[in-house]
Structure 1
Amino acid sequence: MKPIIQLLHFGYHQAMSCIFPVAIFTTLAITSVIEIPFLYRYDAILLILLGVQFLMYRSGLESIDEIKVICIFHVIGLVLEIYKVWMGSWSYPEPGYTKLLGVPLYSGFMYASVASFMCQIWRRLRMDMTGWPGLIPSLMLGGAIYLNFFTHHFIPDFRWWLTVLVFIVFWKTWIIYRVRTETYRMPLTLAFIIVGFFIWTAENIATFFDGWKYPDQQETWQFVSFSKISSWFLLVIISVIIVAQLKHVKANLINHDTRIK
């Protein structure tokens, strides 16, 4: 009976951590079948998601620190989106006033939703890590991964080399998480793979509701290539690195303030 109770609690916290991603999918689904008067669809999606973020903050579901992390990811994602659309990797064919260089501003929330999940699950499961490689190796690896998303269009794609490097850098790193009074752990690289797969699944849902279109989806929808899982695997690493480092900095500040008192 206890394992079932633990699983239910774990599932509950996972579900609560997915509120913002679910809000995005719901908004995409509703706006794909219901036209909002006097608003282009992309503009309506942006307003709705801004409203969801405001309500989550006012209700206490997200803290001001988590909002700051989400904003960082929104900017990181939007820059990447602008570049990818410019390179023809995918497109946003519908009109909208809130488009920047062909990219609707709401698109940054796709990346921000990953940050929202990370922050929420970190807090809800009282997560910690052991064997973290440190600031310099993790930031250098995260920077190289992000840069490769841009450079692989005109120089060789190093994603598989970077993937091997991820397993080398993080091979000692474990996630420690807690469900009620029990403590569990998981290799960080395994968590990267699991989350990457679920983001790929979410991407299929988003493109099904015309959140954006890949070149082979212009005429009719079809599954996103399995190769995209490797891209999301690497993106999740960037997310974890940023969130983990910010949590580490905050913990040090709190400890410093405690010692001063």
Structure 2
Amino acid sequence: MRQLFYFGWEQAKSCVFPLVIFLSLGLTQVVSVPGLARYDLIFLICIAAQALMLVSRMETMDELKVIGVFHLIGLALELYKVHMGSWSYPEEAVTKVYGVPLYSGFMYASVASYMCQAWRRLNLHLTHWPPTWSVMLLSAAIYFNFYTHHFIYDVRWILKILTLFVFLRTMVFFTVRSSTYKMPLSLAFVLIGFFIWVAENIVTFLGGWSYPHQQSGWDIVHLGKISSWLLLVIVSFLIVAILKHLKTAQRP
């Protein structure tokens, strides 16, 4: 139980940036700044949080670069999905481009922030990592399927089976205090995807965004979205892992 407590504490510290987003979504529901739209206020809070994390050395410059990449990747996906009617942001804001508030990219970046923080705090390392080229191809296929499934067959289940095959032998090791534990990487993907789905329910309840079936009132996010988050988690983890692998390879 003591180990579980310390594991939970390290996980909580890794979730600082996601927690900031949760709090800003909840706080701006009841508190407003005259002359400043809610989405604009959330965007400014996210910027300030990132700056404070960097100045306080809670986050490194390399981690900030990774988060910036995810912000752009997420924002591109948001622009496309909102255009296709998958979900919407009903409120007005200055920092809103083609129906998408700029703070939305930080929600994707928060996943990367968690992964970078957890990787460092729990001293993650992987065994039986597949060839990097196959990981990059798999990441690209998963990401672009989010775009192409609107026009051609949705191959997400094929991609999931392929992921299991590619990472069949891959184990992730993590350290809590002085003890090291391991689990299959595929299981880690499922667990993170599930908890992000839980978080998504909270965010939609707080008005972060709305799915079509939530337009007349909040309702639970479809269970099928766990599948989408699972794939996004895989892409996020693989990009972070590739960058970590390349960074390690550059060291003398």
Same fold, TM exceeding 0.5?
yes
Task: Give the paired residue count.
Answer: 252
Distance apart, 1:32 and its partner CA: 1.2
Aligned to 2:80: 83
Question: In structure 1, what residue type is equivalent to 2:153?
Answer: P
The secondary structure found in structure 2 opposite 1:171 is coil
SS at match of 1:37: coil
Deviation of residue 181 (structure 1)? 1.1
Q: Which residue of 2 aligns with 1:181?
A: 178
Matched, 1:130 2:127: yes
Identical counterparts, % of pairs: 57
Stretches of structure 2 lacking an aligned partner (at least 5 in a row): none
Equivalence for 2:90:
93
Greater than 4 Å deviation, 4+ residue runs: none
What's the counterpart of residue 259 of structure 1?
none
Q: Distance in 2 between matches of 1:132 and 1:78?
A: 29
* 1:53-72 alignment, distance < 5 Å: 53-72=50-69
Please give the alpha-carbon distance, in whole angstroms, between the structure 2 residues aligned to 1:158 and 1:245.
Answer: 24
Return the letter of the residue paired with 1:14: Q
Aligned equivalent of 1:167: 164
Residue 180 of structure 1: how far off its partner (Å): 1.1
Note the 1:92-241 alignment, pairs <5 A.
Answer: 92-241=89-238
Aligned-partner Cα distance in 1 for 2:136–2:30: 42
Q: Secondary structure at 1:97's aligned position in 2?
A: coil
Corresponding residue of 2:21 = 24
3-state secondary structure, aligned to 2:86: coil
Amino acid of the residue matched to residue 136 of structure 1?
W
Give the letter aligned to residue 105 of structure 2: G
Distance in 2 (alpha carbons) for counterparts of 1:138 and 1:128: 16
1:224 deviates by: 0.3
Alignment partners' CA distance in 1, 2:190 and 2:145? 19
CA distance in 1, matches of 2:2, 2:207: 38
TM-superposition CA deviations, 1:163-212 (whole Å, max 9, x none): 11110011011101111111110100000000000000010000001100
Which amino acid counterpart does residue 120 of structure 1 have in structure 2? Q
Q: What SS does the aligned partner of 1:213 have?
A: coil
Q: Partner residue of 1:49? A: 46
Q: Indicate yes or no: 2:5 matched with 1:13.
A: no
State the shift of 1:251 in Å: 0.9
Structure 2 distance, partners of 1:33, 1:89, is: 27
Distance apart, 1:214 and its partner CA:
0.4
